[in-house]
């Protein structure tokens, strides 16, 4: 890969990791968006996105769980089906044409959900999640996560908040570890199938560590969430439309 592209990617990935971690996500949809806009080869998108996702979600998981923002029962229920199906999704290889179309839909949906998350009011009283609903939800998100090279937290988080299954802060902890597990299994499946781990990842990992740590440390208390979410919304929509219209 051209050195200029690596430098530009590193800077953009640092910014994405910083912004996403500041609002409780690992940034996979942002990495997908950047790689779409920079016209990365399709075969390198999934392993790069999953690897960087693992790094940032590891930092976020440690931060939220240490602070006590975690719901063990909810995590176990949604992960039982999600984790193995993330491996299956990672192992499969979509035709580049369909990968771009599905990724385009995912990016646009992610942008909309990220924006809606700002307007979701957590339920005053949490309620128990039905085990079957958790298994189905985990399966759908896990398989899609592995297939596209994401963690799925951007879908899980607003859903469990909106349905009142946990508190806002505990949802961030559940989503962070959920993203980490899905990303690890998705990357494992992808590597076992294709033995492809782009070497440029070595240069990109330090950038997302810096961005992820700084964003997690500062958090939403010192940053204007509305500006961050608005910016990410525009990036995701632009990249999604590029995948759908231009390819």
Q: Global pTM?
A: 0.87
Q: What is the pLDDT of residue 115?
A: 79
**Which residues are CB-neighbours of 194 under 8 A, at least 6 positions away?**
43, 93
Backbone angles phi, psi at 150, to 5 degrees: -130, 180
Residue 240, token pair as written in the block: 């999604």
pLDDT at residue number 24: 66
State pLDDT tens for residues 134-172. Answer: 999 999 999 999 999 998 988 898 888 888 888 877 888
pLDDT tens per residue, range 80-120: 999 999 999 999 988 999 999 999 999 999 888 877 766 76
211, 64 contact by CB (below 8 A): no
Rounded CA separation 154/175 (Å):
8
The domains of the chain are located at 3-246
Q: Which residue has the tokens 């231009």?
A: 246
Q: Could you write out the DSSP letters of every residue in 14-57? A: HHHHHHHHHTT---HHHHHHHHHHTT--HHHHHHHHHHHHHHHH
Q: How far is CA 44 from the centre of its chain?
A: 17
pLDDT at residue 146, rounded to an integer? 94
Contacting residues for 15 by C-beta, under 8 A, at least 6 apart: 211
Q: Each residue of 170-214: pLDDT tens digit?
A: 888 899 899 999 999 999 999 998 888 888 899 999 999 999 888
Please check whether residue 177 is in contact with residue 152, taking contact to mean a CB–CB distance below 8 angstroms: no
Rounded-to-integer distance, Cα 27 and Cα 153, Å: 9
CB-based burial label for 39 (10 Å; 0-12, 13-18, 19+): exposed
Give the model's confidence band at 19: pLDDT under 50 very low, under 70 low, under 90 confident, else very high: confident
């Amino acid at each position: 890969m051209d050195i200029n592209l690596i430098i530009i990617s590193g800077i953009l990935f640092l910014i994405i990791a910083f912004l996403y971690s500041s609002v409780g996500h690992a940034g996979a949809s942002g990495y997908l968006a950047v790689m779409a806009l920079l016209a990365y080869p399709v075969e390198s998108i999934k392993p790069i996105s999953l690897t960087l996702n693992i790094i940032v979600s590891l930092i976020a998981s440690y931060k939220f769980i240490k602070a006590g923002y975690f719901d063990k029962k909810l995590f176990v229920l949604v992960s039982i089906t999600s984790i193995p199906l993330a491996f299956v999704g990672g192992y499969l290889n979509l035709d580049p044409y369909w990968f771009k179309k599905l990724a385009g839909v995912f990016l646009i949906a992610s942008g909309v959900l990220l924006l809606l998350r700002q307007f979701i009011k957590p339920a005053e009283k949490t309620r128990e999640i039905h085990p079957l609903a958790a298994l189905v939800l985990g399966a759908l998100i896990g398989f899609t996560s592995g297939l596209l090279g994401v963690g799925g937290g951007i879908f899980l988080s607003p859903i469990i908040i909106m349905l009142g299954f946990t508190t806002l802060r505990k949802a961030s902890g559940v989503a962070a570890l959920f993203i980490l597990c899905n990303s690890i299994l998705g990357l494992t499946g992808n590597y076992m199938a294709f033995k492809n781990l782009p070497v440029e990842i070595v240069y990109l990992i330090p950038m997302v560590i810096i961005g992820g740590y700084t964003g997690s440390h500062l958090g939403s208390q010192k940053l204007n969430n509305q500006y961050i979410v608005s910016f990410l919304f525009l990036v995701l929509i632009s990249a999604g439309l590029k995948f759908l219209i231009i390819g």
